[in-house]
Amino acid sequence: MKKTTNIILLLAALGSAGCKKFLDKTPDSTRTDLSTPQKVSQLLGTAYPQANYIVFCEAMTDNVEDKGLGVQDRPNSDPYAFQDVQSNQQDSPEFYWDACYAAIAAANQALQVCNTAPDSANYRAQKGEALLCRAYAHFMLVNFFSKSYDAATASTDMGIPYVTEPETVVYKKYDRKTVAYVYDMIEKDMLEGLPLLNDAAYSVPRYHFNRAAANAFATRFYLFKKAYDKVVSYANNVFPDNSIGNNMRPWNTTYYTQTPAELFNTYSNSTEAANLLLVETPSVYGRYVASYRYGLTYNLVSQVVWSQNVTGAQWCYPVYSRGERNYFVPKLTEHFVKSSVNATIGMPYVMVPLLTTEEVLFNRAEANTYLNNTAAAIADLNLFASKRIHLYDATQNNITADKLENYYYTRNLQQALVLAILDFKRAEFLQEGLRWFDIMRYKGDVIHYTSTGQLLELKPDDPHRIFQLPDAVKTSGIPQNPR
């Protein structure tokens, strides 16, 4: 599983892909023959980051505690200690960095074909997908390896290389430029690509940037950029028939009656309507999610899931344990792919939902909060609660302005709404890594304790909040992050 290359940006996509059907194709078979839109679509199956960010993200948050024992893995243990991750294996920041630039390389190669083909009009959908893939991978990179977007400093904060051409040399010189520049380029690609998308071009749209997923990505992008009116607009485009509630995970109905095995099969399945974009990632997370030393504990479950929330009830998420200290919510599981039919060795994979209906709902609610559309924000929270409270009673469990202000001990409704949204998101995306984005956006402190009582604190100005670039980037003239 260890990376064997020190090249910063790969010449083309890695062999694994975002959909299982692409695992059976060698990378060369998709790169050497790109003579039809369908073959470009096959290449674009490798234009999504084939790496899992959940392990190193979740370990940086307040969703984990030191259990004193468990699986010791650097992508889990180093972030917990707020140290640079000393690993380039799967689930590490370096592995994710390489996978993002591999995805970008595939997108750029696809774009070159789309733009130069004699019948380029027939490649319209593929061009749209490639642009969205390039935008998404750069967006994830800039949010892990640079400071969070801040309009006051984005024009001077170091960004990441925004690569727009296929590579023709091994050690090309790159410039990090600025966070503002990277965001401008992401927005340009996203806005150009979105109108070109065609859902009919995909046999399984959930593995590609379909229109719903692209609009969902736009809500995340503009939320991070604090362009709140655009967040609302794109959120409404995800489900233009206003069916967002029907496309949420049915936690308090269908999910509530399922066994862990059934939930594992359902949660990251392409048939689940809430999954707007899925990717298959080489990862041991499904194997160790419960048994990592730094993970979910009884104390955290009691605080995040089992305590009474602003609705006056508890969340209905099922929490299970493997042994005395190993807690998990049945979401993401391992899919083991043998190296051959009769082999006993192979590669573990985890299907990761990159964009979901629930995130769209939260993004819209947060944007409406800052736009002072508090009634709309409260309506979205009530819709969410109606799908997450067992035996939900609209009379007893409805959220009101008074309930919000009383629960969060403030007379500032906007502040109370933001706190509620962040709390709801924390419970919804437990063990999925998304909590880290909110901590970064709001410059929140994170406090960890070791099993021996040592206090570890990550303050807003700590340089370790930004993940370190791989050592190999020095070859391409890219400065690393300050330490």
Q: Which pLDDT value is given to residue 324?
A: 84
* 407 has pLDDT over 70: yes
Q: Which pLDDT value is given to residue 174?
A: 86
Three-state DSSP at 338 gives strand
Which positions ≥6 away from 303 have C-beta within 8 Å?
Answer: none
* 135 has pLDDT over 80: yes
Tokens of 180: 């503002």
Which positions ≥6 away from 470 have C-beta within 8 Å?
Answer: 8, 88, 94, 97, 98
Q: Which pLDDT value is given to residue 32?
A: 56
* CB-neighbour burial class of residue 11 (10 A; exposed 0-12, middle 13-18, buried 19+): middle
| Pairing outcome for strands 455-458 and 446-449 | antiparallel
* 481 has pLDDT over 70: yes
The total of other beta-carbon atoms located within 10 Å of residue 458's CB is 20
* 10 has pLDDT over 60: no
* 8 has pLDDT over 70: no
Tokens of 229: 């009116």
Angle of CA points 93, 94, 99, to nearest 5°: 95
Residue 342 pLDDT level (bands cut at 50, 70, 90):
confident
Cβ pair 371, 226 in contact under 8 A: no
Distances from the Cα of 423 to the Cα of 136, 207, 355, 416, angstroms = 26, 29, 19, 11
Amino acid at 16: S
pLDDT (mean) for 236-249: 96
Q: Which pLDDT value is given to residue 341?
A: 78
Give percent of the chain above pLDDT 90: 86
pLDDT (mean) for 387-408: 97
> Which conformational region is residue 251 in: left (phi greater than 0), alpha (psi within -120 to 50 degrees), or beta?
alpha
* 9 has pLDDT over 60: no
* 240 has pLDDT over 50: yes
Q: Which pLDDT value is given to residue 206?
A: 95
pLDDT (mean) for 72-87: 97
**If we measure between CA atoms, which residue out of 68, 74, 71 comes closest to residue 87?**
74
Cβ pair 388, 251 in contact under 8 A: yes
* 366 has pLDDT over 60: yes
Which positions ≥6 away from 218 have C-beta within 8 Å?
Answer: 190, 194, 230, 234, 237
Task: Determine the number of helices (DSSP H) and then strands (DSSP E) in the chain.
Answer: 18, 9
Cβ pair 457, 447 in contact under 8 A: yes
* 21 has pLDDT over 60: no
Distances from the Cα of 465 to the Cα of 62, 143, 145, 462, 478, angstroms = 13, 11, 9, 6, 19
Residue 20 DSSP one-character state: G
* DSSP output for 173-226: -----BHHHHHHHHHHHHHHHGGG--GGG-SSGGGS--HHHHHHHHHHHHHHHT
Q: Which pLDDT value is given to residue 30?
A: 46
Going from the N-terminus, what domains does the chain have, and what CATH number goes with each? 20-476 (1.25.40.390)
Q: Which pLDDT value is given to residue 23?
A: 27
Per-residue b/e over 90-104, b at no fewer than 16 CB within 10 Å? Answer: bbbbbbbbbbbbbbb
Chain centre to alpha carbon of residue 221: 12
Spatial distance between the Cα atoms of 217 and 214, rounded to a whole number of angstroms: 5
280 or 340: whose pLDDT is higher?
Answer: 280
Q: Kindly report the average pLDDT of the chain as a whole number.
A: 92
pLDDT (mean) for 407-418: 98
Q: Which pLDDT value is given to residue 26?
A: 36
Q: Which pLDDT value is given to residue 169?
A: 62
Amino acid at 255: Y
Residue 292 DSSP one-character state: B
The total of other beta-carbon atoms located within 10 Å of residue 29's CB is 12
| Residue pLDDT, tens place only, 276-331 | 999 999 999 999 999 999 999 999 999 999 999 999 999 999 999 998 899 999 99
Residue 450 DSSP one-character state: -
Cβ pair 125, 196 in contact under 8 A: yes
The total of other beta-carbon atoms located within 10 Å of residue 428's CB is 22
The total of other beta-carbon atoms located within 10 Å of residue 447's CB is 10
Kindly tell me the sign of the dihedral angle through the C-alpha atoms of 408, 411, 415, 416: positive
pLDDT (mean) for 70-96: 97
pLDDT (mean) for 412-436: 98
Site of tokens 């060369």:
28
